[in-house]
């Protein structure tokens, strides 16, 4: 499964309103409020926040990937947002976060979940990719940058 298969324009926030970590995660989760694939939005919220309590998903370089696995969704979901004002995310490198990719997986699709986490991390590890994202203004521009970057990845 590829990032472009789960990330759609309507699940991208080019200018997040959230000023803190919890609100940022909730802002992205709320994008799925009326999504038919969501069986229980609060269960998804609990799954993501429970995972976050174990260890921060702020992985460094201004990027976070809050994620969780739950049977409260019928398929893997993804959302992305940019915090134009950096957020204190208790990141592993101690730096604030601006780029946030939310990944919600099904409990029984662990392999897919791990592959997507790895793919997203590889993309976000590229300095030029992160810089391009920060220069965007629209969800369409963001989605196009994700598509272009994913084309560069070699599947393993």
Q: What pLDDT is attached to residue 154?
A: 67
Q: pTM of the predicted model, to two decimals?
A: 0.95
Q: What is the pLDDT of residues 63-73, one digit of tens each?
A: 999 999 999 99
The DSSP 8-state label assigned to residue 75 in this structure reads S
pLDDT for 86 equals: 97
SS (H, E, C) 116-148: HHHHHHHHHCCHHHHHHHHCCCCHHHHHHHHHH
Give average pLDDT by consecutive 10-residue segment, the chain, 156 residues.
93 97 98 96 96 93 96 96 96 95 92 92 94 97 95 70
**Can you list the domains of the chain with their CATH numbers?**
3-152 (3.40.930.10)
Distance CA 149, CA 60 (A): 19
- How many whole angstroms separate alpha carbon 18 and alpha carbon 5? 26
- Reported as a single tens digit per residue, the pLDDT across 80-107 is 999 999 999 999 999 999 999 999 999 8
pLDDT, position 156: 45
């Amino acid at each position: 499964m590829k990032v472009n298969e789960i990330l759609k324009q309507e699940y991208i926030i080019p200018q997040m309103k959230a000023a803190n970590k919890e609100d940022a995660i909730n802002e992205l989760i709320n994008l799925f409020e009326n999504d038919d694939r969501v069986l229980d939005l609060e269960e998804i919220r609990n799954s993501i926040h429970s995972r976050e309590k174990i260890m921060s998903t702020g992985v460094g370089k201004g990027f976070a990937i809050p994620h969780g696995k739950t049977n409260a969704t019928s398929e893997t979901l993804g959302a992305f947002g940019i915090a134009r004002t950096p957020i204190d995310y208790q990141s592993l490198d101690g730096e604030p976060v601006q780029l946030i990719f939310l990944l919600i997986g099904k409990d029984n699709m662990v392999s897919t979940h791990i592959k997507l986490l790895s793919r997203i991390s590889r993309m976000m590890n590229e300095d030029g990719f992160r810089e391009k994202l920060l220069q965007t203004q629209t969800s369409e521009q963001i989605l196009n940058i994700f598509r272009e970057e994913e084309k560069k990845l070699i599947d393993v």
